[in-house]
């Protein structure tokens, strides 16, 4: 933790420990055209774990035709070198996905339903009612296979097709997850439409309805306020945040979707505010640079460029002004 005289964590609700959940090899890669080889994904994930990232959403058990990047889900999970506190997660959108997941060393399956009916049809090819009706059987299959269940509410803060989302709709889906035995719910800003004000409103409403439920925020930086929304979540007592290495990501079934909040930038913000993440920032930067090399294009992370605040440089590294 940074040696600062004042810590925002002193004023925050709850403790100062924050869990950063890496989603780069799932949400980050799903929109990429470049197919990252299985062996490279495994190396990336093992390096992420070595950097102190404990929880990783590794992959998604979706149709390889729909999302080719996720075709190697079973192979990737089989190759990960686990640590004692490792939590491996994957998206499990239907019964076929649950059956596949149960053949792997997965810890948590993430069920998915959008709060927008239009987005849900684009993303899952089903209505919200059809999706919710299938939750209990999918969750039961995962539980029978020894896998925990989490639920994700997509477009919880707005939809590019329908606009603002009624908070009651988000709460209803969260309740359905709780009824299916989920031990956590992720509130997802799928296309970066969240603001600090609706972060506060939605989090408070879901917590009031389900006070014992563990909540996670999944934020995107589409409009440049992703980390501001993270601060709003922290003020509401959220202590779990999804992020993607290098700022990768975006939903392939929503217009204008861009990357998740960046893991290195989030870790830097949290540590400089006095929160503890357990993540080695320099190692996380190294993973982002490796991902950038694999994809062959610059990523949007900023801390990976500038480095930590107190990374110093020799005075002769730049020329002096003349004249």
Which domain covers residue 290, as residue numbers?
10-301
Taking residue 295's Cβ as centre, other Cβ atoms within 10 Å add up to 17
Q: Which residues of 163-192 are buried (b: 16+ CB within 10 A; e: fewer)?
A: eebebebbbbbbbbbbebebebbbbbbbbb
Question: How do residues 235-294 score in pLDDT, each as one tens digit?
Answer: 999 999 999 999 998 766 666 667 899 999 999 999 999 999 999 999 999 999 999 999
Return all residues near 224 (Cβ < 8 A) that are at least 6 apart.
none
Q: Cβ(229)–Cβ(217) under 8 Å?
A: yes
In the prediction, which pLDDT does 60 show? 96
- State residue 50's pLDDT score: 97
Helix (H) or strand (E) holding 90: strand 87-91
Which contiguous run of DSSP H or E holds residue 305? helix 303-306
Q: Specify burial of residue 40 (Cβ count, 10 A radius: 0-12, 13-18, 19+).
A: middle
pLDDT, position 311: 79
Predicted local distance difference test score (pLDDT) of residue 223: 92
Question: Is residue 316 in a domain?
Answer: no
Greater pLDDT, 312 or 234: 234
Tokens 């990252």 belong to residue:
36
Q: Which single residue is written with the structure tokens 């404990």? A: 54
- State the pTM of this model: 0.92
Q: DSSP labels for 241-261?
A: EEEBGGG----TTSTT--PBP
How confident is the model over 143-171, as pLDDT tens digits?
999 999 999 999 999 999 999 999 999 99
Catalytic member of 159, 251, 262, 273: 251
pLDDT band at 1 (very low <50, low <70, confident <90, very high): very low
pLDDT score of 14 more than 60: no
Q: What is the pLDDT of residues 48-57, one digit of tens each?
A: 999 999 999 9
Q: Count each helix (H run) and each strand (E run) in the chain, helices first.
A: 11, 8
Provide the percentage of residues in the chain whose pLDDT is more than 90: 80
Higher pLDDT, 33 or 188: 188
Return the number of other C-beta atoms located less than 10 Å from residue 45's C-beta.
25
Encode pLDDT of 29-44 as tens digits.
988 889 999 999 999 9
Instruction: Tell whether 266 is covered by a domain.
Output: yes
Q: Is residue 216 part of a domain?
A: yes
The tally of domains found in the chain comes to 1
Domain assignment present for residue 148? The answer is yes
**How do residues 111-151 score in pLDDT, each as one tens digit?**
999 999 999 998 888 999 999 999 999 999 999 999 999 99
- Helix (H/G/I), strand (E/B), else coil: 130: helix
Please say if the pLDDT value at position 301 is more than 70. yes
The pLDDT value recorded for residue 175 is 98
Predicted local distance difference test score (pLDDT) of residue 15: 76
The mean pLDDT value for 296-308 works out to 92
Question: Is 129 a member of any domain?
Answer: yes
Q: Which residues partner with 217 through β-bridges? A: 187, 241
Instruction: Kindly state the average pLDDT of the residues 174-181.
Output: 98
CATH assignment at residue 171: 3.20.20.70
Does 208 reside within a domain? yes
Q: Is residue 174 part of a domain?
A: yes
Q: For this structure, is 251 an active site residue?
A: yes
> In the prediction, which pLDDT does 2 show?
46
Q: Is residue 315 part of a domain?
A: no
Residue pair 238/199 in contact by the 8 Å Cβ criterion: no
Q: Per residue in 58-98, pLDDT tens?
A: 999 998 888 899 999 999 999 999 999 999 999 999 999 99
* Residues 6+ away with beta carbon under 8 Å from 202: 156, 157, 167, 170, 187
Side-chain half-sphere CA neighbours of 226 within 13 A: 31
| Cα-to-chain-centroid distance, residue 78 | 21
């Amino acid at each position: 933790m940074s040696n600062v005289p004042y810590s925002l964590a002193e004023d925050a609700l709850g403790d100062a420990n924050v869990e950063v959940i890496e989603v780069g090899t799932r949400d980050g890669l799903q929109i990429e055209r470049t197919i990252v080889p299985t062996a490279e994904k495994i190396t990336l994930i093992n390096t992420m774990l070595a950097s102190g990232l404990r929880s990783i959403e590794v992959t998604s058990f979706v149709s390889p035709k729909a999302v080719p990047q996720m075709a190697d889900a079973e192979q990737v999970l089989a190759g990960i070198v686990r640590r004692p506190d490792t939590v491996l997660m994957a998206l499990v959108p239907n019964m076929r996905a649950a059956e596949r997941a149960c053949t792997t060393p997965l810890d948590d399956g993430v069920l998915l339903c959008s709060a927008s009916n239009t987005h849900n049809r684009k993303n899952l090819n089903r209505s919200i009612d059809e999706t919710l009706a299938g939750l209990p059987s999918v969750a039961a299959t995962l539980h029978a296979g020894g896998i925990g269940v989490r639920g994700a509410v997509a477009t919880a803060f707005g939809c590019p097709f329908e606009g603002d989302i009624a908070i009651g709709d988000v709460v209803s889906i969260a309740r359905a997850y709780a009824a299916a035995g989920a031990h956590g719910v992720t509130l997802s800003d799928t296309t970066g439409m969240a603001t600090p004000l609706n972060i506060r409103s939605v989090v408070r409403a879901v917590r009031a309805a389900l006070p014992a439920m563990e909540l996670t925020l999944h934020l995107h930086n589409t409009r440049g306020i992703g980390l501001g929304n993270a601060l709003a979540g922290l003020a509401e007592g959220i202590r779990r945040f999804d992020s993607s290495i290098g700022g990768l990501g975006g939903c392939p079934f929503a217009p204008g979707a861009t990357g998740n909040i960046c893991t290195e930038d989030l870790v830097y913000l949290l540590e400089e505010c006095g929160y503890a993440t357990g993540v080695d920032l320099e190692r996380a930067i190294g993973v982002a640079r490796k991902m950038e090399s694999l994809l062959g294009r610059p990523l949007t992370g900023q801390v990976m460029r500038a480095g930590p605040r107190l990374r110093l440089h020799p005075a002769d590294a730049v020329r002096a002004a003349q004249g």
